[in-house]
Structure 1
Amino acid sequence: MNNIKINFSIKDLENLTGIKAHTIRIWEKRYNLLSPNRSDTNIRNYSLVSFQKLLNISYLNNNGLKISKIARLKEEEIPIKVREIASRAKVEDHAINAFKMAMINFDQVLFYSTYNNLLENKTFSEIFYSVFLPLLNEIGLLWQTNTITPAHEHFLSIHIKQKILLNIERLQLLEPKPISKTFILFLPDNEIHDIGLLFINYELRSRGYHTIFLGESVPMESLSDLLEFFDEITFISYFTINPKPDDIPGYIKSFNELLLNKNNTKLFLLGKKFEDVVLDKIPEKVSVFKSIENLVKAF
């Protein structure tokens, strides 16, 4: 239990729930919804129970219940009301909150039970697009604001990655299409965030395409060996941290010169880094996509 985060600042609660600190203070004063501990200098400090309660309050409020009505509920009635709404309303928000709680507590049982509940009504692809992607975006922001530690982020990432790999493994039973084109999936030097790329691999494999997943931190020069083995290649890469925005145009130029001279070769790119760079002109064989969904629709 020593790894569990049990104390939260009001800023932590704001980052984790999306409720502004000013609003949290009003709810405390007007409706007595939370009872924070206070330091000697009168700084608020919230327990894990308060965090969980605020997640539930946020969920109810986002699903149409006025805060005055929520305040009249007994303590034990709040989670019951959440389950009631989640059973007949949009389950994604409830699942995201549950995954956050699993992450904060390093609770594998809660992660698996939440995932299995989603599987009752959704395909794996639907879960990834509607729950995992929004969750990962939130987690990235929480890590940047020091609300969570790298250990929390890694806990969540590795469990999501395991689910992708498990679903890729199940595709081995599918009859593949004749190998007319090959997709080479790789991350550039010093890039290690491979969840998005792994999911693209899953999406391609589920459609019967031939893929080769090379994974993280692959030197550009080493990719030239693959040109000798396959006639039609589409390289796919995902930029989350690297290359830096100023280096991206140079990377694309070098890639085009080194690897795209052969007929039937292309490069597909996407990732968060493209939000930070303006590409005035890119080579004809290079395409940049705004999302995984847009890239997958291109096939």
Structure 2
Amino acid sequence: MESKYSIKDLERLTGVKAHTIRVWEQRYNVVCPARTDTNIRLYCDSDLKRLLNVSTLVHNGMKISKVAELSDAERNALVLDSSKYNGNYESQVNGLKIAMLDFNELMFDRILTNSIAQIGSEETFSKVVGSFIQQVGLLWQTNTISLVHEHFASNLIKQKLFVAIDSVFSMNQSDYSKTLVLYLPSGELHELGLLYLNFILRNAGHRVVFLGQSVPIDYLKEVVVRMKADGLVSVFTTTPCSSDLDTYFKSAVDLLDGRDLKWFITGQQIREYDASRLDERFVLTPDIASLKKALFEKLSV
């Protein structure tokens, strides 16, 4: 069954403002939405994929009037060509979105493989995959895409991340590297963001103890003490729920027990949490990109 999207959904998925979508629709027939009985626009999968391609080509310098004259096949071919590498990453990210929506494993793999070949693993995962994870996470949390889309993309990215992590696993840490414990709280299974941070931190020369999914907080103390950890990193996507956060952080304070280390957390569940009640050892950020920035700022001190 084909999905239906509001104009706000298209705005989230493509980054194109609703006003611009209306203009492109009325002047250039880029998309042709259906209408509800109350005259509300509803867009289908083909509208979404077409708009992703159009926005990519316009962003890359083509005039909208010229882009509108092309067929869907011509636009798709140009986007795939530009997704090999154009320096601004939007083509790759939009190409990954289209592949995700079509469950097109071959296209998804080709974009990532081409990007790694052209600009290397570090820049691909930092710029292309990092941006894609950021956007897909928001889209899933706002119900703009379904859970199956998120799982499809996550599993393909994980395969590439595992290869990249293996390639840096044996690297010697520098004299200035830190030791970070990466984990997800009990019941949390969304590990893509944590795997991404695992690669980024290892690639920067830090020592990573990766515990993965669903780790009860009581189990962290042994690892922190034995490994002499400088920090903990976690992503709260679905758990703990907002009503349990105070209890969770009380347990976290008890675990720290005066230790001088940082606890970095991001995720949907802590977006509206009042972090002013916590001491400065806790660093809460709204998204993965902000967490990555905070990590490198704090770890360099």
TM-score, normalised relative to structure 1:
0.79
Alignment of 1:21-170 (within 5 A): 23-35=20-32, 48-73=45-70, 77-79=74-76, 81-82=78-79, 89-170=86-167
Q: CA deviation at 1:56?
A: 1.7
Query: What is the aligned partner in structure 2 of residue 268 from structure 1?
Result: 263
- Letter paired with 1:154: H
The yes-or-no answer on 1:210 pairing with 2:175 is no
Structure 1 CA distance, aligned partners of 2:293 and 2:119? 17
Q: Is the 8 A contact 2:80 2:95 kept in 1?
A: no
Structure 2 CA distance, aligned partners of 1:280 and 1:42? 45
Query: What is the aligned partner in structure 2 of residue 296 from structure 1?
Result: 296
Query: 97-106 or 145-154, which moves further after superposition?
Result: 145-154
- Letter paired with 1:251: Y
Q: Is the 8 A contact 1:102 1:111 kept in 2?
A: yes
Structure 2 CA distance, aligned partners of 1:88 and 1:220? 42
Q: Deviations over 1:262-286 (max 9, x none)?
A: x5x5242121344312222433544
Structure 1 CA distance, aligned partners of 2:272 and 2:92? 30
Structure 1 CA distance, aligned partners of 2:47 and 2:229? 56
- Letter paired with 2:298: A
Q: How many residues align?
A: 293
- Letter paired with 1:71: A
Q: Deviations over 1:241-274 (max 9, x none)?
A: 333445445433322223434x5x5242121344
Structure 1 CA distance, aligned partners of 2:63 and 2:143? 31
Q: CA deviation at 1:151?
A: 0.5
Q: CA deviation at 1:9?
A: 4.0
Structure 1 CA distance, aligned partners of 2:137 and 2:239? 15
Structure 2 CA distance, aligned partners of 1:233 and 1:91? 34
For residue 186 of structure 2, give the secondary structure of its aligned residue in structure 1: coil
Query: 75-84 or 86-95, which moves further after superposition?
Result: 75-84
Gap change, CA 1:162 and 1:293, over 3 Å in 2: farther
Tell me how large the CA RMSD over aligned residues is.
3.5
Gap change, CA 1:68 and 1:245, over 3 Å in 2: same
- Letter paired with 1:298: K
- Letter paired with 2:254: E
Gap change, CA 1:221 and 1:46, over 3 Å in 2: closer
- Of 165, 168, 171, the residue aligned with 1:171 is 168
Structure 1 CA distance, aligned partners of 2:271 and 2:146? 25
Q: Is the 8 A contact 1:60 1:82 kept in 2?
A: yes
Q: Is the 8 A contact 1:196 1:292 kept in 2?
A: no
Q: CA deviation at 1:79?
A: 4.0
For residue 298 of structure 1, give the secondary structure of its aligned residue in structure 2: helix
Gap change, CA 1:122 and 1:298, over 3 Å in 2: farther
Q: CA deviation at 1:94?
A: 0.7
- Structure 2, unpaired ranges of 5+: none
Q: Is the 8 A contact 2:84 2:111 kept in 1?
A: no
Q: Is the 8 A contact 2:6 2:42 kept in 1?
A: yes
Structure 2 CA distance, aligned partners of 1:234 and 1:283? 14
TM-score, normalised relative to structure 2:
0.78
Q: Is the 8 A contact 1:260 1:285 kept in 2?
A: no
For residue 233 of structure 2, give the secondary structure of its aligned residue in structure 1: strand
Q: CA deviation at 1:49?
A: 4.4
Q: CA deviation at 1:7?
A: 5.3
Largest Rg, 1 or 2: 1
Q: Is the 8 A contact 2:184 2:213 kept in 1?
A: yes
For residue 13 of structure 2, give the secondary structure of its aligned residue in structure 1: helix
